[in-house]
Structure 1
Amino acid sequence: MVKMIDLQSVQGTMLIPLWGRASGSEKNPEILDDKEAINIIKGCDFDFADIAKTFGEYGGITYIVRARKIDDTIRNFITKHPRATIVNIGSGLDTTFSRIDNGTINWYNLDLPDAITFRKTLIADSPRNVSIAKSFFDISWFDDIKFNKDDGILFVSAGVFYYFQESQLKEMFSAMAQRFPGGELYFDAESKFALGLSNRTVKKSGNKGAIMYFYVNNPKSMEKWSPKIKVLSCESFFKGIPTKKQWESSTRVMVRIVDLIKMLKFVHLRFEDR
């Protein structure tokens, strides 16, 4: 089943965070316990050795930390809005719903048609966990979302916006702010310096179809994209995640450096209702 996807594509990167969450969870369940990812990996007829060799321990840890931060953000949101709509942009093989579902939220997985086809071979939809097979830039997906303003809506995106041009995101964020007033968006981003390093890693992995473009040095600049966009927070990537003595020394050093020079961060936006 896994062999259906083109590894020389952005969709091909779906396998990397899946591996990262599974391998990272097995060794660091106190950070993230992603049982579904672990089970999927065990059931896959695919050799993840090359991915493991390329991304290593540090790579696996970045994926579970990213998932943990997104989990925490969603849990905080649905504590206030128990019937919220959650839209996972560029969902890939994400398994967040299985970890945070409160029994009343409505969840949407948005990704390209071939990615959703691939996803469904491994993760089935359910009545409140529905896939939308469309491009993020095809705004017709707005009409596929069950949205009650009073119940709240949160958009999350993990490792996706890197692949787009800033001009594309500016147009989409502005359109989302107009259509979903009061909504929020939470995503990860790299600095310009970190983006260059990531592209070197991507080329090393052999995936020439997944070069990255978008970076965030100053998130406040996004408020200029639309009067409806407000930055709620920008947090360093590993904030609140204690390093472990069992980690390799190179991993512990990278964790410190990444936060020290702000290579990776999480940006939280709100679409103002005005």
Structure 2
Amino acid sequence: MSINLQSVQATMLIPLWGRATASEKNPDILYDKEAIEIIAGCGMDFTEIAKTFGEYGGISYIVRARKIDDTIRAFIKKHPHATIVNIGAGLDTTFSRVDNGTINWYNLDLPDAIDFRKTLIADSPRNTSIAKSFFDVSWFGDVVFQEADGILFISAGVFYYFQESQLKEMVQEMAQRFPGGELFFDAESKFAVNISNRTVEKTGNRGAKMYFYINNPKVLEDWSEKLKVISWEPYFKGIPVSKKWESGTRLMVRLVDLIKMLKFVHVQFLKK
């Protein structure tokens, strides 16, 4: 079965493909056993995705997953019964890599995305799906949350597509509802968002425009007195550049960090 790159399913399958193919070749960065098994067994043709996104695309997906894994592991080491909410989960497989046996995990995504997810990844008692829009605050009530146990929200490759005003309002609501919680996500600079939009348009897809960007993450603290930026770092920081990668991939990895095109941002919701 071939994949339409303009479909909702494709936007979910692309990162899954990236994690599967790149983690097989770079297990020192990340090994995503579940993604590899899904790709091998789903009977779909990923030729066009591989041609479009290439080696650098795959590397970027496993690095993002690795940074998120590391953040979750550090959080649940302090909060072993924590709640983790994966915003815009798609076909994410993080739970299978980080589960400590006691966390509660929620995959939040639109109903059609969750329907497709369930054809490939089944829910389980501590790893359940919420089929709602991120902007539908009723999902707050679907999340079992004990303040003492801690809550961490993660989002990978999702916030780019939101208007800043939309995201600001939602993060303010989350900070109010989940005091002491934390949020970890990736973001592009304005320069990078402009490049990304031009690249996506070249594929013929004009319905996936990116809006949100961050040049200086500290500006998030202006959104609310309840927000504190714990840390932020360049996308590939701490990831060794492999000599076996193509020269273009090595160049992109260095360039992205040099001019701060991509970054990870970690925010805390203050209790005051």
TM-score by length of 1: 0.96
1:103 to 91, 101, 104: 101
- What's the RMSD between the two structures over aligned residues? 1.4
Cα shift at 1:229:
0.7
Q: Partner of 2:66 in structure 1?
A: 68
Report the CA distance shift for 1:7/1:251 in structure 2 as closer, same or farther (over 3 A): closer
Provide, for residues 177-224 of structure 1, a one-character-per-residue CA deviation record: whole Å limited to 9, x for no partner: 000000000000000111111112222333332111111101111111
Q: Partner of 2:233 in structure 1?
A: 235
| Cα distance in 2, alignment partners of residues 172 and 10 from structure 1 | 23
* C-alpha contact (below 8 Å) 2:5/2:49 kept by paired residues: no
Residue 263 (structure 1) aligned with residue 258 (structure 2):
no
* C-alpha contact (below 8 Å) 1:2/1:118 kept by paired residues: no
Q: Partner of 2:36 in structure 1?
A: 38
Secondary structure of the corresponding residue to residue 266 of structure 2: strand
Provide, for residues 138-168 of structure 1, a one-character-per-residue CA deviation record: whole Å limited to 9, x for no partner: 0000000000000000000000000000000
Provide, for residues 45-92 of structure 1, a one-character-per-residue CA deviation record: whole Å limited to 9, x for no partner: 221111111111000000000000000000000000000000000000
Secondary structure of the corresponding residue to residue 63 of structure 1: helix
* C-alpha contact (below 8 Å) 1:9/1:207 kept by paired residues: no
Amino acid at match of 2:44: F
Residue 164 (structure 1) aligned with residue 194 (structure 2):
no
Report the CA distance shift for 1:31/1:99 in structure 2 as closer, same or farther (over 3 A): same
* C-alpha contact (below 8 Å) 1:88/1:156 kept by paired residues: yes
| Cα distance in 1, alignment partners of residues 132 and 80 from structure 2 | 27
Percent of aligned pairs with the same residue?
77
* C-alpha contact (below 8 Å) 1:233/1:268 kept by paired residues: yes
Amino acid at match of 2:185: F
Q: Partner of 1:149 in structure 2?
A: 147
For structure 1, the residue ranges without an aligned partner over 5 or more in a row are none
If asked which structure has higher relative contact order (CA below 8 Å, sep 6+), I would say: 1
* C-alpha contact (below 8 Å) 2:81/2:103 kept by paired residues: yes
Aligned length, in residue pairs: 272
* C-alpha contact (below 8 Å) 1:81/1:152 kept by paired residues: yes
Shift >6 Å, 4+ stretches: none
* C-alpha contact (below 8 Å) 1:10/1:209 kept by paired residues: no
* C-alpha contact (below 8 Å) 1:8/1:210 kept by paired residues: no
For structure 2, the residue ranges without an aligned partner over 5 or more in a row are none
Q: Partner of 2:171 in structure 1?
A: 173
